[in-house]
Amino acid sequence: MKYWQKYIDKHKVYDKYAVPRKFNYAMVVVIPCFDEPDVLTTLNSLKHCLPTQHPVGVLVVVNSSETTDEAIVIHNRKTYDDVIDFANNENRSTLSFHALLCEDLPRKHAGVGLARKIGMEWATRGFLQCENRAGVILSLDADCTVSENYLNTIESQFQLSQPNCCVLNFQHRITPNSDPLLNDAIEQYEQYIWYFRDALRAIGFPYYYHTIGSAFAVSADAYVRVGGIGRQQGGEDFYFLQKVFQLGKTSELMKAFVYPEARFSERIPFGTGPALEKIIASADGLLRVYSVDAFIALKGFFDLRIKFYKQSDDQVLSLINQLHPSIQDFLHENKFLASISDCNNNAASVSSFEKRFFHHFNAFVIIKYLNFAHIPYFELIPIHQAKDKLVGLL
């Protein structure tokens, strides 16, 4: 675990968040919490999970910035006290609850990303302290409940398969009395998440898994190997998981569910809350998404990747010129011929070439292409149409 210590030494700023001397957990659930109305519902959901073989810790990171309104700071402090009271009453040898109160975080970095990082760094230090290289970090949010098999299914998967990462199933909670417009919007949004995942898989992209901050688990070793999670004020889950996926050995646990609350939110510029607001604000209440035809065009490019191996720039360009104009123009504008040359110059085998290819043509580039290709080449289409059309590609 020498490189763990090197990682910890590089991130000493997080040492101030003390780890209990008796830390003995096999898994730690990390929950960022900012101005949340009912985090105890989340904790009670975890309390009622089926038992695990080894001890589990739950850490709630109650956080605010140096510019947070005083009313929210006061509410956060009450939340912290509530979690401590809950822990004093409910902690047992197999499942223990903890809380950190993190106030006056730098305005530049404060947000869900930094709070999640504080919690994951706490877990990593704990695993190093008890010399548990097999420790697992679970990422959850303070508006979620979980299925009763959440903890033991994740534990079993990591024990049996030793994955670097698991992504979990999810379904937003909708109450009988909730706004029908909100219900319809969340249904469309969930359809889009699965549509995007299925489209990426259909075109041969190896890292097609969905990236939801409340629905993944990662080995602490993988966490250290990719340099930890970032401090972004939104999207930290996406950026982090893209790095982890490239390590390989990612599992999808479709029988373990996370149930986020369906709600509006202005805390981050993208994600569930802003997406719901955008759908409801549209004239027809329909979510429009990337065209299946754009994915088909991208599939044509990905299908040629092995043919690019050990070919000259002229030969590669000749193959690219056979592709959809949107692909040709995008690759030319972004000078990706040089990226393919890099793959050829630094790959001794087809498998290493392919791995390097998808390092260059990763999820960030795919999204960049899809945004580039709409509207000039393709039209955004309603999610129900896109989903039906995708069936022919699967």
Query: In the chain, where does DSSP find H-type helix?
Result: 2-10, 39-47, 70-90, 112-129, 150-161, 180-202, 220-225, 236-245, 272-281, 292-303, 313-320, 325-333, 337-345, 350-360, 363-373, 383-390
The 10s digit of each residue's pLDDT in 171-209 is 998 877 778 888 888 999 999 999 999 999 999 999 999
3-class state of residue 386 by DSSP: helix
pLDDT at 235: 82
The secondary structure element, H or E, covering residue 288 is strand 288-289
Q: What is the mean pLDDT of residues 129-133?
A: 95
Q: What is the mean pLDDT of residues 240-259?
A: 97
- Tell me the two tokens of residue 258: 């996370």
Share of the chain above pLDDT 90, in %: 85
The alpha carbon of 43 is separated from its chain's Cα centroid by a whole number of angstroms, namely 21
pLDDT at 276: 76
Residue 262 pLDDT class (50, 70, 90 cuts): confident
Question: Across all residues in the chain, what is the average pLDDT?
Answer: 93
Share of the chain above pLDDT 70, in %: 97
268 pLDDT more than 50: no
pLDDT at 265: 57
263 pLDDT more than 70: no
- Out of 84-93, 111-120, 226-235, pick the least confident: 226-235
Q: Which amino acid is at 257?
A: F
Residue 269 pLDDT class (50, 70, 90 cuts): very low
Residue 273 pLDDT class (50, 70, 90 cuts): low
Q: How many helices (H) and strands (E) does the chain have?
A: 16, 10
Q: What is the mean pLDDT of residues 138-157?
A: 97
Residues 365, 99: Cα–Cα separation, whole Å: 38
The 10s digit of each residue's pLDDT in 67-85 is 999 999 999 999 999 999 9
282 or 216: whose pLDDT is higher? 216
Backbone φ and ψ of 313, nearest 5°: -60, -40
260 pLDDT more than 50: yes
267 or 229: whose pLDDT is higher? 229
Q: What is the largest CA-CA distance in the chain?
A: 70
Q: What is the mean pLDDT of residues 95-120?
A: 95
Q: What is the mean pLDDT of residues 245-250?
A: 96
Distances (CA, A) of 358 to 8, 239, 343, 365: 30, 15, 10, 10
Residue 106 pLDDT class (50, 70, 90 cuts): very high
Q: How many CB atoms lie within 10 A of CB 40?
A: 17
pLDDT at 240: 95
pLDDT at 266: 52
The 10s digit of each residue's pLDDT in 274-327 is 777 778 888 788 999 999 999 999 999 999 999 999 999 999 999 999 999 999
Please enumerate in sequence order all residues whose Cβ is within 8 A of that of 310, keeping only pairs 6 or more positions apart, or say none: 344
The partner residues of 146 in beta bridges, in order of sequence, read 258
Residues 298, 358: Cα–Cα separation, whole Å: 13
**What secondary structure letter does DSSP report for 27?**
E
The 10s digit of each residue's pLDDT in 7-19 is 999 999 999 999 9
Q: Which amino acid is at 211?
A: T
Residue 264 pLDDT class (50, 70, 90 cuts): low
The 10s digit of each residue's pLDDT in 325-374 is 999 999 999 999 999 999 999 999 999 999 999 999 999 999 999 999 99
- Tell me the two tokens of residue 294: 């754009």
pTM: 0.93
